[in-house]
Amino acid sequence: MLNPRYICHLPLIVPGNGALRLGSQKREWRKGELIAFDDTIEHEAWNNSGEDRLVLLFDVWRPELEPIIARADRTSPQPSVRFSTNGLDELRQERELGPK
C-alpha cells in the first residue's frame, strides 16, 4: 500500500544526545533541519540528554501524488465546515464584565 503523505519532523530545541532511526539509517537531530519521511518505514526517536527536546511534527502530501489527489478532490463530496465565534464572544464578555 502506498502511503499518501510524508511525516515531517522539525527540531526546535535540540539538547544533544538524541537521534532518529529510519530503517537502518540514523539521523542526528539538528536544530531547524527538517526531516521528512514515509512513516510506514520502521522508525524510532530518542533523547538521552536528560533535557527536553522539542520537535514540531506535521504531515504533507507526497508531491508525486498531487494530480491523483486533486482528481479525487473534484469527485469526492466536500465537507462543510463552519466556525462560530459566539462562544468566544460570550467568554470575552464574561472576562470583562464578570459572570452573568
Tell whether 15 is covered by a domain. yes
The predicted structure's pLDDT at residue 13: 94
> Tell me: the pLDDT tens digits for 14-32?
998 899 999 999 999 899 9
14 contacts 65 by C-beta, under 8 angstroms? no
Tell whether 94 is covered by a domain. no
* Number of structural domains the chain divides into: 1
Which range of residues forms the domain containing residue 61?
1-66
Tell whether 82 is covered by a domain. no
> Tell me: the pLDDT tens digits for 42-82?
999 999 999 999 999 998 888 777 776 656 655 655 554 44
Tell whether 85 is covered by a domain. no
Tell whether 91 is covered by a domain. no
pTM above 0.85?
no
